[in-house]
Structures are given as C-alpha cells and as structure tokens.
Amino acid sequence: MWFIYFVMTEEKKSLNFIEHIIEEDLENGMNTSNLRFRFPPEPNGYLHIGHTKAIGISFGLGLKYNAPVNLRFDDTNPAKEEQEYVDAIKEDITWLGYTWDRECYSSDYFQQLYDWTVQLIKEDKAYVDSQTAEAIAEQKGTTTEPGTNSPYRDRSVVENLDLFERMKNGEFDEGAHVVRAKIDMADPNMLMRDPLMYRILKKSHHRTGDEWCIYPMYDWTHGESDYIENISHSLCSLEFKPHRKLYDWFLDQVYSEHIRPKQREFARLNLSYTIMSKRKLLKLVEEGIVKGWDDPRMPTISGLRRRGYTPASIRKFVETVGVAKRENVIDVSLLEFCVREDLNKIAPRVMAVMNPVKLVITNYPEGQEEWLEAENNPEDDSAGSRKVPFSRELYIEKEDFKEEASRKFFRLTLGKEVRLKNAYIIKGESVVKDDEGNITEIHCTYDPESRSGSGTEASKRNVKGTLHWVSIAHAVPAEIRVYDRLFNDEAPAGHKDKDFMEFLNPESLKIITGYVEPSLKEVQPLEQFQFQRLGYFNVDPDSSDNLLVFNKTVGLRDTWAKAKPVQSQNNNNKPAQNQQREVRAIEEVKRAGKKYTNLPEEKRAVLKNKIIEAAKKVEIEELIPLYNTAAKKVGTRIATTIALGIVLETKNMEPDELAIAFIQKGIEDGNELLQTEAKEIAKKYSIN
C-alpha cells in the first residue's frame, strides 16, 4: 500500500520551473538526444554545501531525462587554481553518488578561444585597451549614466592584432594591456559596456604550465565552452542573470550549426549560521581557525563527509529545498534533520559514556562478568544483535545521577530504581565523595531476576528511567570531538559594519576523553554509530590502533531551536541587561501543541487562532523537522498540521512529498482532532 502511495505521489509531483523550460523545448522540437547538462566548478577551493544544489540540479536532470552531464572545470585563473582542488571536487561529486559523462576543462579550449578572439578583432568587434584597470572602471559609467569610450577603442585592426599576438608571446607586463569586446558603452546593462575578454597573467597553470601568459575572462570562456561541448541548458545561480545578455552576445559571434546553449538561472542555496564564500572559507583555513578544508566544522562537502554526514542525507536536503527563482536562507536545522533521519535508519546503536562516574553494584559477585544481548538497530530488522560485557563496576554519565532529585528526574537517584540498557534494574543506595564533596562512586544494588529479555516477571517490571553504561573492565578509551556550529550568528557575513570573524563560536569544538564498548575496537574510518542517548558519531580518519577518535555528527534532537535575544535600542547595540527573549514563531507553534489536547473546546479555539497567527511567520523548512514528532505527542502533530495548512496557503505553495506523507499519517491517526485538520488540507490539495 505504501509503495503504491509513494509511486503515485512521485507521478503527481509537479515540475520545477527549469523542468518546465526543458519540457517546453522538447515540445517545440528539441530532440531528447540533444539534451546535455554540465556542472562547471572553478577549481579555486573545495566544494561546499551551497554547491550541492547546483550539482543536484544538473545531475538530477541528467538522471530524469537520461541525458549526459559534463564535469567541466572553469580553470581560467592560474593565480588561484590548483590540482588539489580538482581532485577534491571529483572525489566529492563521486561520493555524492553522481557520475559525469565527460571530464572537461576550459583550458582545453584556450587555442580555440584565442582563434575566435583574433576573428573578432578582424571583424572590429574587439580591441586591445592599454588603460589601467582604474581608468577602465571609471569610464564604465553608472547605472544611470552611460560610460565613455576608451581612447584606444578605435585602434586599427592591424595594430590590435599585432598587440594581441605580442601579449600572447609574453612581451608585456601584467596590467599593460587587456582585450575588450567592442559592444556599447551606453548599454543599460553595464556588463555590455565593452567587457574584458583577456588579461595578462604570468602565472603557471596547473594543466597548461607556462604555455600561455594571457588568460580568457570568465564571461568570454563560459558560454563558448558550453557551445563547444554541445550543452543544451546552461544552468547557473541568480547572480549570473545580468550576464545572460552578454552570454548570448558572445554566442552570436561564433554560433553556426551546433546546439545553442540556453542560460537559465536559479536561486543559490544559502544556509543559516554558515559562510558560503570560498574566499572566506580559505581565510579560515589559512589563519588556522579550522584544521583544513575537511575540518568537520566546515560546510565543505569533505568536511561534512568527515563529520559523518551521508550522501543520502545531503541529496535529500537538496531535494527538500527544491529549485526556486528567489533567494532565501534555509535554516541549517533542516540539513541536520535530514542527516538525523538517515542515520536513524542505518546507524548501529552502541553504548558510550562521555562524562563518566563510577557505579558499583555492591551485590553483584566480584570478578564475575557476563555478555548480554544488545539489539544493533531497532529500525533495521536485518541489523542483528551483538554481545556487550557486564560486570560489577560500570561507568555511567554524571548527568544521569542526582543525590537528591525532584519527581520529574527519571534517572538514577538514591532510593529509586532505573534500568540499565540491555541489563538489569538497579537501585541507588549510597555515594562516595572526595574531600571536596565531589561524588566519585555511586553504590547500587541490582535485581538478579530483572535481566532484559529474560522473560521473568521482574524483567517486565516498569521503571521510568533507562541508562546507558560501559563496563569499566572492558571499556575502550576514545577521544571524542564534540562539534557545534562554527558561527553563533545566523548571518555571519550579513553585517556591513562587522567582519564575519567576529561571530566565530569559541565553543565550536570540545575534545573529551570518553569510554566506548569493546565492540568498537575494530571500527574503520567514517563508520557511523548512534551513541545511545547521546547522538550520532562517526570514526575520524585520525583514529589509529592506539587511539579511537570519534566526531559528533549531530544530536538526537535539535537543541538550537531557542528563543532569540531582543537587542537593546541604545547606541552601543549591546543586549539590555534585563532583556526579554523574543519567541520565534515556530516555538509558539510547538508550545501551543504541548497543551492543545488538554484544553476545553473554547480555549482550544483561542489557541488555534494563536497557532494560525504564528504560522504566518513560519517557513516551511521549520516545519519539516516536526513531521517526525512521536505519535504520542499528538498535540504537537495537530499544531504542526494547522501551521502547515497556513504556510501552504500564505506562501501559495503545493505540498511536497514530505508534507503529503505527514498529512496522510494524520488522516490515519486515531485522534479525531488530528484527523479533522489533516483531512481539511487533503481536501484542499486533492490528496488521497
């Protein structure tokens, strides 16, 4: 039944605007065999999460239309490009699960571009300008005033050809001359005002060596490379939309009989709490803020891979974000949600203790040990089980014990019982403290008849708390690197009067020594696990036979969904001392959900109106993590459903695959209030 449902959903899935363009081209006579796409990175840094959208769009279209996709390196600036970046980009794309048809380089076309430039000079459509860069920029004019012609614009064809050849032969210093297209210095689009085509760069190229000392500019190279490679649709981000007119003008000069590329633009992927500039990411590397491009705090694909993100989670994230024409900022919690959801399905469960305190089971025989059965992954029936050792002395988390605790503390305290995961029920009896009053040991007793899975009446006894643990005699020490967001501001590059480095999070990395169960002794780099009750972790490549190293990928739940501080209105812009905390709209929805089902009908109607008003300020990405709310938290699911209906309506959106699945679950739920809200959305959007 579910398989049929999801197939139907996929068939009904609406086309994005790029797919509409392609479908229209096919309807107008383009042959499917002529479709060819490309992903054209510049090898001047490592790919980051922002690039995954462009990768996903181009390679996704290739898969959808069974069309080839080229990987082309736009390597026209030897001052910034390196083979290291080429290799890293290829590795990242392969890791994401995509395969390219042809591996191409703009440098392969240097001779052709040079020959075309010579032809343009002969046709008096290009010339050599000998002004300084500053003079050229000043003559460009403004958006309201036309530019002025270069004094060298009317050089003769003979002189231009001579100078261009001598530029190629290395007779001039950098900056002495450039080649410009001769278009229109009064064009409303400033990019059309005699744009640069070539400059002198006496730098060794990572592929062509010292063969060339003049290099083509991006605008001249890009469209012509697309043309040479028979690219049908040249897809790029929105900042290139003003370049489209120039892209087409350059194509007009060389177009004859090949497929003519069509440039179309989509919104970039912007992520909160994240820097997307390769130049700024390079600064973090060069200044030692991070330990290389693959530092797990970096938003690079290699950094995400090292941190434990999966290809499936990143691809799901890109798919969920979708293809848009308008720029927006996606909450990083959506990316974390996607990896959390994927790892929940595939990551084996193991036990680790990160902040240990010794626990002694006083009535357990000294010197005895037993190996208990532990399930590897309750989400995967085929994952099987493993044996974990149990003994008299264990490590548990310090946070899991309080000498004195309230009734709402469901972990270990004196006089109360909890269950040790996969093991026995224990009862807190006493503590041992050092001279400063710190607890060094917790003494407990256990019920020998209460072993998990034994089938005894004692084993079925219901206790509220369950703790993870590690046997001290068998514990394996490990270095555990706990990562947090690299920046503590949602838009670190969005402050005109401040440097993005001011927003670095000093707590972005904590290194601790913890203990893990012995089944992890033979793990391999990048293997992923759920440390039960702690989060998802993976094995860092720094691990050795002598020391295991784990990276925290993500917690079991989003801990960043907190209120934002209200800034004071004084001149120094510092937070007020007694500041109130502004509640995010999504938090209002969550809070309302917690009490929704406990209210009488009149008060529930008032609360529903509050949810509706809050939902008008909510983005769809903020709701997605709530789709997987536990079934027992029906109030939150109701509030999420109400909010979803409002978000879809106010933003004029259609429900995507995730939303449809959530609505379907609501219809099938046993709670009538949830059913009613879900059915209302289903009726409006014709969801069966």
The tokens describing 532, both together, are 């039960």
Q: 46: annotated binding-site residue?
A: no
Q: Which of 42, 393, 527, 619 is catalytic?
A: 42
Q: Are 473 and 388 in contact (CB under 8 A)?
A: no
What is the identity of the amino acid at 214?
I
- What are the tokens at 539? 């094995």
**Collapsing DSSP states into helix, strand and coil, what is residue 157?**
helix
Tokens of 459: 């084993």
CA dihedral angle for residue 12, residue 261, residue 105, residue 74, rounded to 10 degrees: -80
Q: Flag whether 98 is marked binding.
A: no
Active site residue 42: yes
- Which one of 180, 262, 278, 590 is the catalytic residue? 278
Q: Which of 153, 203, 268, 679 is catalytic?
A: 268
Task: Count other Cβ atoms within 10 Å, centred on residue 264.
Answer: 17
In this structure, which amino acid lies at residue 667? I
**CA distances for 668 relative to 482, 627, 660, 676, angstroms:** 40, 14, 12, 11
β 548-554/393-397 pair status: unpaired
Is 369 annotated for ligand binding? no
SS (H, E, C) 26-53: HHCCCCHHHCCEEECCCCCCCCECCHHH
Give the strand pairing for 233-237 and 262-266: parallel
Q: Which residues on neighbouring strands pair with residue 511, listed in sequence order? A: 481
- The reply, when asked if residue 483 is annotated as ligand binding, is no
The phi, psi pair for 417, rounded to 5°, reads -105, 145
Owner of token pair 């709310």: 629
Which candidate, 275, 531, 308, places its Cα nearest to that of 421?
A: 531
Residues 665, 670: Cα–Cα separation, whole Å:
10
Six-digit token pair at 327? 């720029």
Which stretches of 153-233 are DSSP H helices? 157-168, 218-228
522-558 in b/e form (b: 16+ CB < 10 A) is ebeebbbbbbbebbbbbbbeebeeeebbbbbbbeeeb
Of 247, 236, 259, 238, residue with least CA distance to 36:
259
Is 44 labelled as part of a ligand binding site? yes
Neighbours of 453 (CB within 10 A): 13
Q: Is the separation of the CB atoms in 431 and 442 below 8 Å?
A: yes
Reading the block at residue 324, the tokens are: 């848009």
HEC string of 69-87 equals EEEEECCCCCCCCCHHHHH
269 is in an annotated binding site: yes
Helix (H) or strand (E) holding 552: strand 548-554
> Active-site residue 278, yes or no?
yes
Strands (E), 277-424: 329-330, 349-350, 352-353, 356-361, 369-375, 385-391, 393-397, 401-402, 412-413, 417-420
Six-digit token string for 262: 């069509």
Closest CA to 554 of 504, 484, 625: 484
Of 299, 261, 305, 304, residue with least CA distance to 282:
299
Contact partners, residue 550, CB within 8 Å, separation at least 6: 352, 478, 479, 480, 481, 516, 529, 531, 537, 538, 539, 540
Task: Flag whether 268 is marked binding.
Answer: yes
Q: Is 277 annotated as a binding residue?
A: yes
Torsion, Cα 400 404 407 409, to 10 degrees, reads -10
The closest of 395, 394, 397, 377 to 386, measured between CA atoms, is 377
The binding site for ATP comprises 42-44, 268-269, 276-278
Task: Output the known binding site.
Answer: 42-44, 74, 218, 268-269, 276-278
Q: Which residues are catalytic?
A: 42, 268, 278
Binding-site residues for L-glutamine, in ranges, read 74, 218
